[in-house]
């Protein structure tokens, strides 16, 4: 595959230019251990190129960005469930990729224990990219682009799985979203409207136990009472932990950027926030729910629902989805393929 790129954009960056990861003031300490994978501009750019390159999939048809689009806060909106090579449909919805440096486990069931190894899962999954690591590394070594990018990132052209994986992780670590209206209120740069304020109180009362601010997740695994979809028969966390208590528990997702990241839930069953609230607002509790935070049920009047949605919309960060350093990195002069 010859993909002519504005290589200058990527390669000019000098090896070792450190990238300062800055923690938003109102955020806790990240859990990612940066000392084992110190960020640099060149490595992040390499990771970004890899993230957007369909060279990663076996038939060069799919990139990470095919399922994780910047405009959807790196989720996937065309399809409720992920859409891989040869139109194969997976069993889960692609989550938004936001603030991953604070997330201890990945995937809806926590199957992946470190951001560095996350890429291995889609890369080798037959319904996603269907590739294998050795094949991919051989391709990268033969490409016209990557030896130079690895050289500027690591000081030599050697392309190893560790460098490959850590570079993609570096790019994903930069996907920090902390500039929504909510964040600006926290920084005292603006104030909530009366409606948003009411919504915030309702949020703190009913939702914050699990969707804990400021990340809007406590990253635990919970059962929020969704009825099982019999076609998918996805029992969630238990498949990984093998602990029967984890049946139908899924990772609590962040509520940031919901405007961009629909559809919602692990199988993308809801497309609108009103449907989500209809699911939660069951006075007396949803029959399937065992989680203490939801067991006694939530009552929300129609007005409450409008207020709560108004608050949830303050979590949208348009500067994140339109951030030019997160977008497609290649400038294609020619699309000729051999």
What is the contact surface with ligand HEC in residues (CB under 6 A)?
51, 56, 62, 64, 66-68, 82-84, 90, 92, 94-95, 97, 100, 103, 106-108, 118-119, 122-123, 128-129, 168, 172, 206-207, 209-211, 222, 224, 226, 250, 252-253, 255, 258, 261, 264-266, 276, 280, 291, 293-294, 298, 308
Q: Which of 113, 157, 229, 301 binds another protein (CB under 8 A)?
A: 113
**85 lines the binding site for another protein (CB under 8 A):** no
Closest by CA to 108, choosing from 257, 274, 235, 208, is: 235
Is the Cβ of residue 115 or residue 178 nearer to another protein in the bound state? 115
Distance between CA atoms of 64 and 125, rounded to whole angstroms? 12
| Binding partner at 252 among another protein, ligand HEC, none, C-beta below 5 to 8 Å by kind | ligand HEC
- The residues, ordered by sequence, that sit 6+ positions from 94 with a Cβ below 8 Å of its Cβ are 67, 68, 75, 76, 82
User: Where does this chain touch another protein (CB under 8 A) — which range of 6-14, 108-116, 230-238, 315-323?
Assistant: 108-116
Distance between CA atoms of 247 and 62, rounded to whole angstroms? 32
| Binding partner at 294 among ligand HEC, another protein, none, C-beta below 5 to 8 Å by kind | ligand HEC
Element (H, E) at 222: strand 221-222
Helix 273-280 and helix 302-313: axis angle, to 10°?
Answer: 130
| Binding partner at 43 among ligand HEC, another protein, none, C-beta below 5 to 8 Å by kind | none
In the bound complex, what is the minimum distance in angstroms from residue 211's beta carbon to another protein? Answer: 25
Three-class DSSP labels, 62-125: CCHHHHCEHHHCCECCCCCCCECHHHCECCCCCCCCCCHHHCCCECCCCCECCHHHCCHHHHHC
| Binding partner at 165 among another protein, ligand HEC, none, C-beta below 5 to 8 Å by kind | another protein
Answer for the pair 336, 2: CB distance below 8 angstroms, yes or no: yes
Is the Cβ of residue 40 or residue 82 nearer to ligand HEC in the bound state? 82
In the bound complex, what is the minimum distance in angstroms from residue 48's beta carbon to ligand HEC? Answer: 11
Q: Which of 179, 209, 241, 275 binds another protein (CB under 8 A)?
A: 241
| Binding partner at 258 among ligand HEC, another protein, none, C-beta below 5 to 8 Å by kind | ligand HEC
Answer for the pair 274, 305: CB distance below 8 angstroms, yes or no: yes
| Binding partner at 321 among another protein, ligand HEC, none, C-beta below 5 to 8 Å by kind | none
Count CB atoms within 10 A of the CB of residue 122.
24
- At 270 the three-state DSSP class reads strand
The phi and psi torsions of 262 (rounded to 5 degrees) equal: -60, 160
What are the residues binding another protein (CB under 8 A)? 36-37, 111-117, 120-121, 123-125, 133-134, 137, 160-162, 165-166, 169, 240-242
């Amino acid at each position: 595959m010859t993909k002519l790129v504005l290589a200058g954009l990527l390669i000019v960056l000098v090896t070792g230019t450190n990238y300062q990861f800055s923690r938003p003031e109102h955020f806790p300490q990240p859990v990612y251990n940066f000392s084992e994978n110190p960020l640099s501009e060149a490595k992040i750019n390499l990771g970004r190129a890899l993230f957007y390159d369909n060279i990663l999939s076996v038939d060069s048809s799919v990139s990470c960005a095919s399922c994780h689009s910047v405009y959807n806060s790196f989720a996937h909106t065309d399809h409720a469930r992920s859409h891989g090579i040869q139109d194969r449909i997976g069993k889960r919805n692609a989550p938004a990729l936001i603030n991953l440096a604070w997330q201890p486990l990945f995937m809806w069931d926590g199957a992946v224990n470190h951001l560095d190894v996350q890429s291995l899962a889609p890369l080798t999954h037959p319904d996603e990219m269907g590739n294998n690591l050795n094949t991919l590394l051989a391709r990268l070594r033969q490409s016209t682009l990557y030896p130079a990018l690895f050289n500027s990132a690591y000081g030599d052209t050697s392309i190893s799985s560790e460098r490959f994986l850590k570079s993609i992780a570096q790019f994903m670590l930069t996907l920090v979203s902390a500039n929504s209206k909510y964040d600006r209120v926290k920084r005292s740069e603006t104030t909530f409207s009366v409606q948003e304020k009411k919504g915030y109180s309702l949020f703190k009362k009913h939702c914050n136990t699990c969707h804990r601010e400021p990340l809007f997740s406590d990253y635990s695994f919970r059962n929020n009472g969704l009825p099982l979809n019999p076609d998918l028969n996805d029992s969630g966390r238990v498949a990984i932990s093998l602990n029967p208590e984890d049946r139908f528990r899924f990772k609590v997702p962040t509520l940031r950027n919901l405007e961009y990241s629909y559809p919602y839930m692990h199988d993308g069953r809801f497309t609108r926030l009103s449907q989500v609230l209809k699911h939660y607002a069951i006075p007396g509790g949803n029959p399937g729910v065992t989680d203490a935070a939801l067991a006694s049920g939530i009552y929300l009047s129609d007005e409450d629902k409008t207020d709560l949605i108004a608050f949830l919309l303050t979590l949208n960060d348009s500067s994140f989805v339109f951030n030019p350093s997160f977008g497609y990195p290649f400038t294609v002069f020619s699309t000729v393929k051999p």
